[in-house]
Amino acid sequence: MIAAVLDRLADLVNADAALVRRGRHLSTTFLVETGATAWLVTVHEGRVTRLERGPFLLRAFSFAVRASEDAWQRFWAPVPAAGWHDLFAMTKGGHARVEGDLRPLMANLRYVKEVLAKPRRSA
């Protein structure tokens, strides 16, 4: 289920011209962890150019967003419940972790949050 959602992430993002434009100053690779599975998302000027499924050995990334499969499912619910409706609601509640070099995340926060929430509409 989660794998199917994340497999579509590149198409969902790249089909959204406004979202790609919003991320035009971001080129990086970040890690998304869904329970036991990790994904590397490579962004070039707002387009997701590569989506790789782990496991990974000695791979570099700028920042990581980690949550359980259950947490992501709640986050992507069409109308998420309070506490599961925002990435930082989940980090405050201990349901997600954000780690690594946060500068590219914070400088492009709206873009990254909207990329991560992108599966919600099509959930």
Partner 1 sequence: MADVEPIVGRYLRMSLGGRPHRVYFEEAGGGLPLVCLHTAGADGRQFRHLLNDAEVTRHFRVIAFDMPWHGKSLPPPGWQDEEYALTTRGYVDLVLSFCAALGLDRPVVLGCSIGGKIVLELARLHATTFRALIGLESADYQAPWYDDTGWLHRPDVHGGEIAGALMSGLIAPQSPSETRWDTLWMYMQGGPGVFKGDLVFYRADGDFRDRVGEIDTTRCPLYLLTGEYDFSCTPEDTERTAAKIKGARVTVMKEIGHFPMSEHPAQFRRYILPVLEDIRARG
Contact footprint for partner 1 (CB under 8 A): 79-80, 82-83, 85-89, 91-93, 102-103, 106-107, 109-110, 113
Helix (H) or strand (E) holding 65: strand 63-67
Q: Which is nearer to partner 1, 32 or 87 (CB)?
A: 87
Nearest approach in angstroms of CB 89 to partner 1 is: 4
Element (H, E) at 98: strand 96-100
Instruction: Kindly tell me which of 68 and 91 has the beta carbon lying closer to partner 1.
Output: 91
Coil, helix or strand for 35? Answer: coil
Q: Which is nearer to partner 1, 37 or 86 (CB)?
A: 86
Least distance in angstroms from the C-beta of 22 to partner 1 = 9
Residue with Cβ nearer partner 1 (59 or 110): 110
Task: Write down the least CB distance from residue 64 to partner 1, Å.
Answer: 17
- Sequence-distant contacts of 102-108: CB under 8 A, at least 24 apart: 102/63, 104/26, 104/28, 104/30, 104/62, 104/63, 105/30, 105/62, 105/63, 107/25, 107/26, 108/22, 108/23, 108/25, 108/26
Least separation in angstroms between CB 102 and partner 1? 8
